[in-house]
């Protein structure tokens, strides 16, 4: 099943994720990136066109930077308006969740459960920077 990806953010976060995907996995060109509010141009038509382009036998995953933010609101509105159930929206996205999602099996549909697991495994974590006396190796 073909999958399409969109990353939409305030500022250049989407472009940064796209760049990192190219460096780490040569997959940056596989996503559409929207860097909202960098110009006066309305980015909503890009979202609308992306959503409209998703065929019934395809899936799309749209990543946004901030749950409830203006970019996320526009994405959710467009997806709901289109009434397509084959489009997932993942908010508070980071590079780890985008990269992990792109490496899910390509020949199978992505399930809600797979996405939830990927999200849980890609959470932000606090890295210990001190060594306890009884610890030799933190990794």
In this structure, how many other beta carbons lie within 10 angstroms of the beta carbon of residue 73?
Answer: 13
**Residue 55 within a domain:** yes
What does pLDDT average to in each consecutive run of 10 residues of the chain (139 residues)?
97 98 97 98 98 98 98 98 97 98 95 97 94 70
For residue 21 the two structure tokens come to: 């995907």
pLDDT attached to residue 131: 87
Q: Are strands 58-64 and 31-36 parallel, antiparallel or unpaired?
A: unpaired
Angle at the Cα of 137 from the Cα atoms of 133 and 139, rounded to 5 degrees:
135
Q: Which residues contact 58 (CB under 8 A, 6 or more apart)?
A: 1, 2, 3, 4, 86
Q: Which residues constitute the domain of residue 26?
A: 2-121
**Residue 131 within a domain:** no
CB 32 within 8 A of CB 46: yes
**Residue 82 within a domain:** yes
CB 38 within 8 A of CB 11: yes
pLDDT attached to residue 37: 98
Distance CA 61, CA 71 (A): 15
**Residue 46 within a domain:** yes
Burial of 20 (0-12, 13-18, 19+ CB in 10 A): middle
**Residue 135 within a domain:** no
Distance CA 6, CA 29 (A): 11
pLDDT attached to residue 17: 98
**Residue 136 within a domain:** no
pTM: 0.92
**Residue 128 within a domain:** no
Number of domains in the chain: 1
Please report, for the domain that includes residue 108, its CATH number. 3.40.50.510
């Amino acid at each position: 099943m073909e999958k399409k990806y969109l990353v939409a953010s305030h500022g250049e976060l989407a472009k940064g994720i796209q760049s990192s995907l190219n460096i780490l996995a040569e997959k940056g060109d596989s996503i559409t990136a929207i860097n909202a509010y960098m110009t006066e141009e309305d980015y909503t038509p890009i979202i609308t066109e992306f959503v409209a382009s998703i065929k019934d036998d395809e899936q799309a995953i749209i990543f946004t930077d901030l749950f409830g933010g203006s970019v996320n609101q526009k994405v959710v509105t467009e997806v709901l308006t289109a009434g397509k159930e084959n489009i997932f929206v993942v908010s508070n996205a980071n590079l780890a969740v985008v990269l992990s999602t792109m490496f899910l099996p390509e020949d199978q549909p992505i399930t809600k459960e797979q996405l939830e697991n990927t999200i849980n495994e890609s959470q932000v974590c606090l890295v210990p920077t001190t060594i306890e006396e009884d610890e030799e190796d933190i990794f």
